[in-house]
Copies of this chain bind each other. A is one copy, B any other.
Amino acid sequence: MAKTKELVGRQVPCQLCPLRKLKIFRPFNPEELAFVSRFKTGEVVLKAGAPLFLEGATSAHLYTVLSGLAFRYKLLPDGRRQILNYCMPGDFLGLQGSVMHEMQHSVEALSDMVLCIFNREGLWRLFESHAGLSFDVTWLAARSEQMLDQQLLSVGRRSAAERCAHLLLHLADRVAEVGLARSRHTIRIPITQQHIADTLGLSLVHTNRTLGRLMRLGAIRWREQEFEILDRDQLAELAGDDETSSAVRPLL
Contacts and interface: CB of A to CB of B under 8 A. Distances in A.
Contact of A145 (B96, B201, B241, B245): B96
Contacts of A142: 95-96, 99-100, 141
B156 A200 contact: yes
Contact of A155 (B101, B124, B128, B201): B201
A13 interface: no
A158 interface: yes
Contacts of A222: none
Contacts of A144: 145
Interface string A118-149: 00000010011101101101110111111011
Interface stretch (A15-23, A28-36, A71-79, A180-188): A71-79
Contacts of A153: 74, 76, 82, 84
Interface in A73-107: 74, 76-78, 80-82, 84, 95-96, 99-101, 104-105
Shortest 5 CB-CB contacts between residues of A and residues of B: A156-B201, A141-B141, A82-B156, A148-B148, A80-B157
Q: How many copies does the complex hold?
A: 2
A76 B152 contact: no
Given A104-B146, A134-B138, A144-B145, 12 more contacts: A74-B149, A74-B150, A95-B142, A96-B146, A99-B139, A127-B131, A127-B132, A127-B138, A129-B131, A145-B145, A148-B152, A155-B156
Contacts of A76: 153, 157-158, 240-241
A247 B104 CA distance: 13
Contact of A95 (B82, B138, B155, B247): B138
A243 B157 CA distance: 25
A196 to B, nearest CB: 12
